[in-house]
Amino acid sequence: MKPQRRLRLGMVGGGEGAFIGAVHRLAARMDDRYELVAGAFSSSLENCQRTGAALWLDPARCYASYQKMAAQEADGIDVVAIVTPNFLHAPVATAFLQAGIHVICDKPLCLNAQQASQLAAVVKQSQCQFILTHNYSAYPLIREARQRVLSGELGEIRFVEVEYLQDWMSELVEQTDNKQASWRGEPAKAGAGCIGDVGTHAWQLASFVSGMLPQSLSAELATVVAGRALDDDVRVTLRYANGARGRLWASQVASGHENSLRLRIYGSEASLEFQQENPNQLWIRPRNAPAYCLTRGSGVLSDEVRTMGRVPAGHPEGYLEGFGQIYREAADQIWAAIDGQPFSGSLLPGIDDGVAGMKFIDAVRHSSMADGKWVDFSAA
């Protein structure tokens, strides 16, 4: 059934000078299913008002606090995007869920596994939709990779190798005027360092494509840059129930890397490789046949995957379109909830993925503090 109107979107965070809020706003407009109508864009009212004015919003709907916005917009917005530093995700989400408003929240879910379980209970009580923007899982060729693993084309999965490497924190940027770095360097605001910031993306992508969560893990968290309060490099070894082994390496001090998120999965019959910085290609390497590269427009992709694109094949799509896809599918999911219709088959990351991600961080910390001791993740 065609929705009768655009979804009314509110935003918390994403004020002037912020990074990801603007990406969410572009993503929401990409398929014309949302209209931004309200915001608490910043902890500074002046910044919030300037941001709202630049976005042509009614000044009366630019709020001094998210609490005020949640109270006043219960009938004014359908969904809120949460794009604040991590420590605010849980309290902001709770305020809006309790007002009956659907939530699209950026990652990592919150500060720790205990807070994640509490938030999960609020989501379940609210009966609202909760979408977590692990955006890389909405790239067309990642969906294709997942289908190929699930169809058994790779055979029995033996190795899962994932890495997310950056170098922008190679110096003590949190002590400069870099807005994005400042809260990321504060334990009370970030909750975790590299493991939360990019490690959770790598974790979610590997789990999404392989269809498996590990049974146990051994980890080493490191702080490479002197004076930093949180980890900036993490290495994790994983063991899966079927005997497969895995490795996850996330780093924000890996010189020469910008957003090098790379996933390789090896089965008994073939392997696959995806690199986020080249997201219109997916390599498949069968054991007894030549390797081949699938492209976003390839005629052999399923209709479901091929129709995800917004511009003809050969025109690169990537980060923004991945976010746009999350927003497109979230709109379908939220409209079904508003109309009281059943909705099945969602591939969007939700509260359960967020809880698993926070348990992963806790397990990594636990193992690292015990000098890499194997931690039973299935019991986490």
Ligand X SMILES: NC(=O)c1ccc[n+]([C@@H]2O[C@H](COP(=O)([O-])OP(=O)(O)OC[C@H]3O[C@@H](n4cnc5c(N)ncnc54)[C@H](O)[C@@H]3O)[C@@H](O)[C@H]2O)c1
Q: Work out whether 204 is an interface residue with ligand X (CB under 6 A).
A: no
Residue 359 CB neighbours (<10 A): 18
Q: Work out whether 40 is an interface residue with ligand X (CB under 6 A).
A: yes
Instruction: Look at residue 6 and give its three-state secondary structure.
Output: coil
CA 261, CA 77: separation in Å to the nearest integer? 35
Which positions from 97 to 116 touch ligand X by CB under 6 A, shown as an x/- string? Answer: ---------xx---------
Which positions from 125 to 144 touch ligand X by CB under 6 A, shown as an x/- string? Answer: --------x-x---------
Encoded tokens for 53:
């004015």
CA 259, CA 277: separation in Å to the nearest integer? 7
C-beta of 12 vs 221, nearer to ligand X: 12
Size of the site for ligand X (CB under 6 A): 26
C-beta of 208 vs 335, nearer to ligand X: 208
Instruction: Look at residue 165 and give its three-state secondary structure.
Output: strand
CA 240, CA 246: separation in Å to the nearest integer? 8
Q: Work out whether 325 is an interface residue with ligand X (CB under 6 A).
A: no
C-beta of 83 vs 103, nearer to ligand X: 83
Q: Which stretch binds ligand X (CB under 6 A): 83-91, 215-223, 236-244, 288-296?
A: 83-91
Encoded tokens for 254:
């890996």
Q: Work out whether 259 is an interface residue with ligand X (CB under 6 A).
A: no
C-beta of 136 vs 377, nearer to ligand X: 136
Q: Which of residues 163-182 bind ligand X (CB under 6 A)?
A: 179-180
Number of H helices, E strands in the chain: 13, 14
Q: Which stretch binds ligand X (CB under 6 A): 17-25, 110-118, 246-254, 353-361?
A: 17-25
CA 308, CA 115: separation in Å to the nearest integer? 35
Q: Work out whether 95 is an interface residue with ligand X (CB under 6 A).
A: no
Q: Could you write out the DSSP letters of every residue in 171-218?
A: S-GGGTT-HHHHHHT-HHHHSSSHIIIIIHHHHHHHHHHH----SEEE
Q: Using CB under 6 A as the criterion, which residues of the chain lie in contact with ligand X when the complex forms?
A: 12-15, 18-21, 40-43, 66, 83-86, 88, 106-107, 133, 135, 179-180, 183, 197
